[in-house]
Amino acid sequence: MKHLVLLLGFLLSAMVLAASADTITTTFSVMARIPSRECTVTATDLNFGTYYPNGSAPARSWNSIGVLCDNQEVVSIYPNHDSSGVYASNNRYMMSNGKGDLLAYDLYTDHTYTQPWNINNPEVLSLVPYQTFLAKVYGQIPAGEFEPPGNYSDKVTVFVTF
């Protein structure tokens, strides 16, 4: 009988301890990071060299625009207006060095000079991550642009949207 009383006492003590047991908690954070999409763009100069207005053919040249992104992206590349203030459509202008004379030129997305490059006709590219894609821009000065002698230049800002 003594064993039965001890057993009942032990069971009763265990139930009391279980009913009054303390609870301890902790927390942990759940995190994920989505990196920002980043692209870089570079461009070489477009140099027509010496232009002869008496020539029967337009002067032509081209340059490259490099685009490198860290994600697979579809990007659109387009130019701003030229520094003479003319909107980037056709008939862009290079200005002479301080004289105010203008020499017309156009930019194209194709080597046949039939697709003007402007905000309404951007170069659209599907890029592979971490591989530089080179887009060519083709420039043309029409034949017969009779402007005074001098050095003519323009600045084109390239926009890449993704």
User: Is 60 part of any domain?
Assistant: yes
- pLDDT of 88 above 80: no
- pLDDT of 13 above 60: no
The residues near 23 (Cβ < 8 Å, ≥ 6 apart) are none
DSSP, collapsed to helix, strand or coil, labels residue 66 as strand
User: Is 95 part of any domain?
Assistant: yes
For position 119, what pLDDT does the model report? Answer: 83
User: Is 125 part of any domain?
Assistant: yes
Range of the domain at 67: 39-161
At 96-142, the pLDDT tens digits run 877 889 999 999 999 999 999 988 888 898 888 889 999 999 999 99
Confidence of residue 91 (pLDDT cuts 50, 70, 90): confident
Domain count, the chain: 1
CATH of the domain at 45: 2.60.40.1090
For position 136, what pLDDT does the model report? Answer: 94
To the nearest whole number, what is the mean pLDDT of the chain? Answer: 83
User: Is 1 part of any domain?
Assistant: no
For position 12, what pLDDT does the model report? Answer: 52
